[in-house]
Amino acid sequence: MFCGHCGTEVPDIAEFCPNCGAAMRPSQATVVDAYSPSDESAKAAQKPKRPKKKTGLIIGIVAAVVVVAAIVAGVLLYMHHQDEIAHQEVSLSINLNATGYAAPEKGGVPVKISGTDLDGASVEIYVLLIYTDTVVELHRGDYTIAAAGDAIAADGAFYAAQDNMLSVTIDENGISDADGNADPTLQLGYTEVAAESVTDDQIAGAKQALIDAGVDEEAATAIAATATTKRDTRLAEIQAEQEEAAARAEAEARANSLHISTDLYELDLPDYWYDKIEIEYSGTDVTVYQKGYRTLSLAYITVEDGGPSYWTDGDVSGAALASKESGNRRVVVRAAFFSYYAEEFYNRRSWLPSKLTEAELRSGIDLQSLGTKSYDDYAKASNSDYSGSTIAYDAIKPTIVTKW
């Protein structure tokens, strides 16, 4: 027989349908006593249709699966979107504090950024700061920003990195520093070093920092060369300045050693006499000797009063070789003619000072003639031409200044 509820064939003795559990009442079942081919069509005609309850269940299950899949897809899409947002790069502005710095064409200030991004991956990158304010793109994470080395400007000026390090955190709230301050000013400081103080090691270190930051070696070498040139040029300038200063100091010392000043007058002795004479003061009277000799003076300087009628020019043993008048008073420079004494000495005149030597005469003639005459020019002379003995005093005369 068949279940009158679901059409399932059940044993004749069954009280309930094994498929749907319906009670097998005579009105719900059909009993077939014997088989015949013509009965098959009858069975088919008598088999009831599948109820709508099972179809609805299937539809409900399918709908539920679709809803769950849509929810899951939505959640996954949202998470993906949020991940994309989290991995978007953030613009980080780094300020360069280096007064007067101008970046070379293929260089800049090397900076190292290291830390960990939001995925826990280690980050280590180098950037070149070219302008005062440079923007760097970074993902969320914790970073340290520090100078990767010293810097070299376009003109070869050398900038030493200051001892500063910046710590920043980039998260969903933005950028903050180690103290939690939002949107901090990130500034790296560099100080220009005097060119003459820059060492080869400093230049080599700055060159390597440029290479580490991605500058090709040829360009880095050229940039380093500008620093070396600037340093060497400055050192040469300093040396020239020092030599010039030394020369000025020496000239001033020479001038001072040859300058005679009293209450009544002042004058300058010839530069040719520098470091070859000794000067003795006695009030307003001044005596100039050759260094190492005291027999004959090179000059005796004094003030004479009374006017021209009282003044005498003297002779070769003490002639007035230079003078400056003012009123009835004059400054006069007297000296013996060493050329005359040379001739007399050669002829062994008995009246000559006993301590007078040929060496003193040779030196005196050289100084009086400012190096233009020698002892031998006069020792054997017989024409009394002693003009060489006046050359030094012709140079003294225009320098005389009276103070009365």
pLDDT for position 11? 82
| Phi, psi of 270, rounded to the nearest 5 degrees | -60, 140
- pTM of the entire structure? 0.61
Query: Please, which pLDDT band fits residue 25 given cuts at 50, 70 and 90?
Result: low
Strand-pair partners of 302 = 332
pLDDT tier for residue 322 given thresholds of 50, 70 and 90:
very high
In the block, which residue shows the tokens 């060496």?
359
C-alpha span between 215 and 207 (Å, rounded): 9
pLDDT value of residue 304: 96
Q: Per-residue DSSP letters for 231-295? A: HHHHHHHHHHHHHHHHHHHHHHHHHHHHEEE-SSEEEE--GGGTTSEEEEEETTEEEEEETT--S
* Residues 6 or more apart whose Cβ sits within 8 Å of residue 281: 262
Going by pLDDT thresholds of 50, 70 and 90, the confidence category of residue 85 is low
324-356 residue pLDDT tens: 999 999 999 999 999 999 999 998 888 999 999
- pLDDT > 70? residue 249: yes
User: What DSSP letter does each residue of 191-239 carry, written as one string?
Assistant: EEEPGGG--HHHHHHHHHHHHHTT--HHHHHHHHHHHHHHHHHHHHHHH
Ranges 86-90, 115-119, 265-269: which has the least confidence: 86-90
Report the chain's mean pLDDT, rounded to a whole number. Answer: 88
CA distance 2 to 152: 102
- Please state the rounded mean pLDDT for residues 387-396: 94
Beta bridge partner(s), residue 123 = 115
CA distance 218 to 312: 84
What tokens does 113 get? 């950024």
All domains of the chain in start order, with CATH? 90-232 (2.60.40.10), 265-402 (no CATH)
User: By C-alpha distance, which of 209, 117, 121, 125 is closest to 159?
Assistant: 209
Q: Beta-carbon neighbour count of residue 337 at 10 Å?
A: 25
- Please give the sequence-ordered ranges of beta strands (E in DSSP) within 9-164, or none if there are none: 29-30, 90-97, 109-117, 122-129, 133-138, 141-147, 151-152, 158-161
